[in-house]
A and B are shown apart, each in its own frame.
Chain A
């Protein structure tokens, strides 16, 4: 038993390895002769001497979960330990951990941490560490307590493993079983070319990979760029308070998800599903890009506080909007303390009053008074620039502008004494906008009626009618 691995270790070529006499029991005669030997088996690399290139080689941690777990979600946990996580459908993950060894001390320690993480998540797992992907994976599938960085022990253990660990398809395994082959060691004793013909090139390649003769090209898991999580409740939830409590861990996970990507969100969508009704969609908006769990939760509770559930909730689903990179401004780690930041204030107001109800105003370079300003929903939280170039306004402008100019009746015109000779003087003439069809030609006056407010009125120059447009408050 010990002789076999030594062959591998001493750098024997596969040809030697497979040169062992095939078992007489193998029903080779049942295989029909091939018409054309079209299958090209790539020559395996010479077995790498374990000592010389130990640093270069990768080291793999494989974990197999019971049931059908959400691999993407679990990969996020795994990515805290290594940058390379690969999925093995349907229920396993492969982690390259050589690069993380220095940080975590040893692979034994790392394995402890990883296993503890799965346990904390309430998952049943089997894990193994080996210098090759498939060796680790296969050991983990079998539940073998393989935890080795050495090819010697690895190969010794591999040869003992039953074929079922390879998770090859049933037909292939059946063929092998009928050949009387139970263990990987038996398989390796067969001639390589024949093996490739019977089982396919892939199987031979798998064996090479498992033995560490050939590296395997694996695709690293790239996390998706949206956060989405669904919670189904066993009993329907009728109270908003319960909903909030159920959502808090989800938001914390969302925050973790964002943190790990150095990203943040500006809005989250929450979908509450009911039994019969159409789902209720709640939008959580944030004043700035954030990944702060505290802020995420605060807006949620404000928003839920004024939510009336039309029906009991069966499940909830949280979607993040597009992820946006966090900037230094949006990291309010040093701001606040006990006190609020402006961002938090705006968020809280928006969460309760609605997104549209909280806005800023800014000027626009435009001569028509009604177009010279606009609302700003996206409030800039950076310090305002020292010198904002303001258009030099000669004439004063009123603090209040009416939404629409109000046409003054003849009686009002009389009361305001606009027509008489003692009427207002020195109008400000605004005549512009002829190019876009909304042209204006107005004479603006600032007048103060005998008893009352100071008004901003204008006379349409073509129609000669008078309008009230604002008030100097």
Chain B
């Protein structure tokens, strides 16, 4: 998306411009930036535009690994790699809790030749790496696992994501729930009785609340 042109449509498409009517409308107008489907219709319906927003920061609060948190994003990652006409964009996973298992990702349709795993030695380095990757413009999405970070860094990540047109996903522990966050979308994933419980804490242009994922 060319950022130089300053038509009204481009201005409105900028995530920093918050339109009042979006707050009430459940769907954004089609002229806004593309979204990537989450692969779950129940969740798509709750998100403005019907999917994960590109060029923005999404925060997922989660304490336990393996609740299907990556699965929420995998269809979007596959779509982001397929949709471009030119070079296949990169996916960067920074500090994942375990080894990303290549056969599983290939099974889902991820282009493994365009996946970069980064193991930074510290949280600061991880944030730096995430900022670099988001800003570079060659990445479709950057997934970042962190134990904790402050608001200032998140703001930098958000700006980098907007500048590079990439989707930034930040996984953090649940204890950060009551801190303010510049992320345009905040989700809380916890264990549920039958299946994991997904709650939208903050949705820019949508309504927060519980999401019924249905039986997976």
Knowing A384-B88, A470-B101 are in contact, say whether A360-B68 is a contact too (CB < 8 A).
Answer: no
Q: In the bound complex, how far is the Cα of B74 from the Cα of A397, in angstroms?
A: 13
Decide: B64 and A453 in contact? CB cutoff 8 A.
yes
Knowing A352-B128, A453-B65, A473-B71 are in contact, say whether A361-B107 is a contact too (CB < 8 A).
Answer: no
Q: Check A175 for interface membership: any CB of B closer than 8 A.
A: no
Knowing A353-B125, A400-B99 are in contact, say whether A363-B138 is a contact too (CB < 8 A).
Answer: no
Q: Check A455 for interface membership: any CB of B closer than 8 A.
A: yes
Chain B window 39-72, contacts with chain A (Cβ cutoff 8 Å), 1 for yes, 0 for no = 0000000000000000000000000111111110
Q: A384: which B residues are within 8 A, CB to CB?
A: 88, 111, 113-114
Partner of B138, one of A342, A362, A450: A342
- Shortest B13–chain A CB gap in Å is 19
Chain B window 85-122, contacts with chain A (Cβ cutoff 8 Å), 1 for yes, 0 for no = 00110100000111111111111000111111111110
Interface size, chain A (Cβ < 8 Å): 52
Decide: A363 and B65 in contact? CB cutoff 8 A.
no
Partner of A361, one of B97, B100, B129, B195: B100
Closest B residue by C-beta to A401:
B101
Q: A342: which B residues are within 8 A, CB to CB?
A: 90, 136, 138
Q: A391: which B residues are within 8 A, CB to CB?
A: 103
Decide: A472 and B129 in contact? CB cutoff 8 A.
no
Chain B window 139-179, contacts with chain A (Cβ cutoff 8 Å), 1 for yes, 0 for no = 10000000000000000000000000000000000000000
Q: Check B191 for interface membership: any CB of A closer than 8 A.
A: yes
- Shortest B102–chain A CB gap in Å is 4
Partner of A348, one of B87, B97, B107, B132: B132
Q: Check A454 for interface membership: any CB of B closer than 8 A.
A: yes
Knowing A348-B132, A357-B120, A390-B106 are in contact, say whether A451-B100 is a contact too (CB < 8 A).
Answer: no
Q: In the bound complex, how far is the Cα of B100 from the Cα of A403, in angstroms?
A: 10
Q: In the bound complex, how far is the Cα of B139 from the Cα of A372, in angstroms?
A: 26
Decide: A397 and B138 in contact? CB cutoff 8 A.
no
Closest B residue by C-beta to A455:
B66
Q: In the bound complex, how far is the Cα of B129 from the Cα of A454, in angstroms?
A: 30
Decide: A473 and B65 in contact? CB cutoff 8 A.
yes
Chain A window 433-473, contacts with chain B (Cβ cutoff 8 Å), 1 for yes, 0 for no = 00000000000000010111111000000000000001111
Q: In the bound complex, how far is the Cα of B102 from the Cα of A372, in angstroms?
A: 8
Decide: B107 and A402 in contact? CB cutoff 8 A.
no
Partner of B68, one of A339, A341, A346, A454: A454
Closest A residue by C-beta to B195:
A448
Q: List the count of A-B residue pairs having beta carbons below 8 Å apart.
A: 159
- Shortest B91–chain A CB gap in Å is 10
Q: Check B133 for interface membership: any CB of A closer than 8 A.
A: yes
Q: In the bound complex, how far is the Cα of B132 from the Cα of A373, in angstroms?
A: 27
Decide: B121 and A353 in contact? CB cutoff 8 A.
yes
Q: In the bound complex, how far is the Cα of B106 from the Cα of A362, in angstroms?
A: 8
Q: In the bound complex, how far is the Cα of B137 from the Cα of A107, in angstroms?
A: 51
Decide: A451 and B121 in contact? CB cutoff 8 A.
no
Q: In the bound complex, how far is the Cα of B118 from the Cα of A354, in angstroms?
A: 10
Interface residues of A in 336-377 (CB under 8 A from B): 339-342, 344-346, 348-349, 352-354, 356-363, 369, 372-375
Decide: B104 and A396 in contact? CB cutoff 8 A.
yes
Q: Check A379 for interface membership: any CB of B closer than 8 A.
A: yes
Q: In the bound complex, how far is the Cα of B119 from the Cα of A403, in angstroms?
A: 15
- Shortest B72–chain A CB gap in Å is 9
Decide: A388 and B106 in contact? CB cutoff 8 A.
yes
Decide: A349 and B118 in contact? CB cutoff 8 A.
yes
Q: B2: which A residues are within 8 A, CB to CB?
A: none
Partner of B112, one of A344, A361, A393, A403: A361
Decide: A340 and B106 in contact? CB cutoff 8 A.
no
Decide: B137 and A473 in contact? CB cutoff 8 A.
no
Q: Check A328 for interface membership: any CB of B closer than 8 A.
A: no
Q: In the bound complex, how far is the Cα of B108 from the Cα of A397, in angstroms?
A: 9
Q: In the bound complex, how far is the Cα of B113 from the Cα of A405, in angstroms?
A: 27
Q: Check B214 for interface membership: any CB of A closer than 8 A.
A: no
Q: A170: which B residues are within 8 A, CB to CB?
A: none
Q: In the bound complex, how far is the Cα of B69 from the Cα of A361, in angstroms?
A: 20
Q: In the bound complex, how far is the Cα of B87 from the Cα of A426, in angstroms?
A: 41
Knowing A340-B137, A380-B113, A472-B66 are in contact, say whether A400-B97 is a contact too (CB < 8 A).
Answer: yes
Q: B116: which A residues are within 8 A, CB to CB?
A: 346, 349, 358-360, 379
Decide: B69 and A473 in contact? CB cutoff 8 A.
yes
Q: A349: which B residues are within 8 A, CB to CB?
A: 116, 118, 129, 132-133
With a 10 A CB-CB cut-off, give which of B98, B119, B121, B192 has the most chain A CB atoms.
B98
Decide: A453 and B67 in contact? CB cutoff 8 A.
yes
Decide: A396 and B107 in contact? CB cutoff 8 A.
yes
Decide: B103 and A393 in contact? CB cutoff 8 A.
yes
- Shortest A308–chain B CB gap in Å is 14
Decide: A345 and B106 in contact? CB cutoff 8 A.
no
Decide: B71 and A360 in contact? CB cutoff 8 A.
no
- Shortest A138–chain B CB gap in Å is 60
Decide: B100 and A341 in contact? CB cutoff 8 A.
no
Partner of A345, one of B99, B125, B133: B133
Decide: B117 and A399 in contact? CB cutoff 8 A.
no
Q: Check A162 for interface membership: any CB of B closer than 8 A.
A: no
Q: Check A156 for interface membership: any CB of B closer than 8 A.
A: no
Q: A452: which B residues are within 8 A, CB to CB?
A: 64, 66-67, 191
Partner of A357, one of B96, B119, B136, B139: B119
Q: A167: which B residues are within 8 A, CB to CB?
A: none
Interface residues of B in 19-57 (CB under 8 A from A): none
Decide: A471 and B98 in contact? CB cutoff 8 A.
yes
Q: In the bound complex, how far is the Cα of B137 from the Cα of A344, in angstroms?
A: 11
Q: Check A398 for interface membership: any CB of B closer than 8 A.
A: yes
Decide: A471 and B66 in contact? CB cutoff 8 A.
yes
Q: In the bound complex, how far is the Cα of B191 from the Cα of A452, in angstroms?
A: 5
- Shortest B80–chain A CB gap in Å is 14
Q: In the bound complex, how far is the Cα of B114 from the Cα of A396, in angstroms?
A: 22
Q: What are the 5 tightest A-B residue pairs by CB atom distance, in nearest-first order?
A: A453-B66, A471-B66, A373-B102, A397-B104, A400-B98
29 A-B pairs (CB sep. < 8 Å): A339-B138, A340-B137, A342-B90, A342-B138, A345-B138, A346-B116, A352-B128, A353-B129, A357-B119, A357-B121, A358-B116, A361-B102, A361-B115, A369-B101, A373-B102, A384-B111, A390-B106, A393-B103, A397-B107, A399-B74, A400-B65, A451-B191, A451-B192, A452-B64, A453-B65, A454-B68, A470-B101, A473-B68, A473-B70
